[in-house]
Amino acid sequence: MELRCVWEHNGDDTLLYLADLTGAFTRGATLSEAACKLEREAAAYCRWLDLPAPEPDAAVHIVQVHTSEADVCDADTDVLFDSERGPLAPEEYARLKALALRSAEDFLTLYEAVPQKDVSTLPWRATFYGRAPRTAREMYQHAQSVNAYYFGKAGAEADNVGDIRACRARGFAALEARPGYLENPVCTDGYGEQWSLKKVLRRFLFHDRIHARALWRMARSTFGADAVPDVFRFGG
The tens-digit pLDDT sequence of the chain (236 residues) is 799 999 999 999 999 999 999 999 999 999 999 999 999 999 999 999 999 988 888 999 999 999 999 999 999 999 999 999 999 999 999 999 999 999 999 999 999 999 999 999 999 888 877 888 999 999 999 999 999 999 999 999 999 999 999 999 999 999 999 999 999 999 999 999 999 999 999 999 999 999 999 999 999 999 999 999 999 999 97
Residue boundaries of the structural domains of the chain: 2-79, 84-223
Cα-only R_g, the chain = 17
Helix pair angle (136-144, 164-176), 10° resolution = 0
CATH architecture classification, 2-79:
2-Layer Sandwich (3.30)
What pLDDT is attached to residue 139? 97
Instruction: Calculate the alpha carbon distances from 197 to 83, 92, 177 in Å.
Output: 12, 12, 14
Q: Distance between CA 230 and CA 108 in Å, rounded?
A: 12
CATH of 84-223, one of 3.40.50.1360, 3.40.50.300, 1.20.120.450, 1.10.760.10: 1.20.120.450
- Quote the DSSP letter at residue 82: G
Euclidean distance between the first and the last CA atom of the chain, given in angstroms as a whole number: 21
pTM of the predicted model as reported, rounded to 2 decimal places: 0.96
Q: Distance between CA 209 and CA 235 in Å, rounded?
A: 13
Q: Distance between CA 60 and CA 34 in Å, rounded?
A: 11
Are 10 and 71 in contact, with CB atoms under 8 Å apart? yes
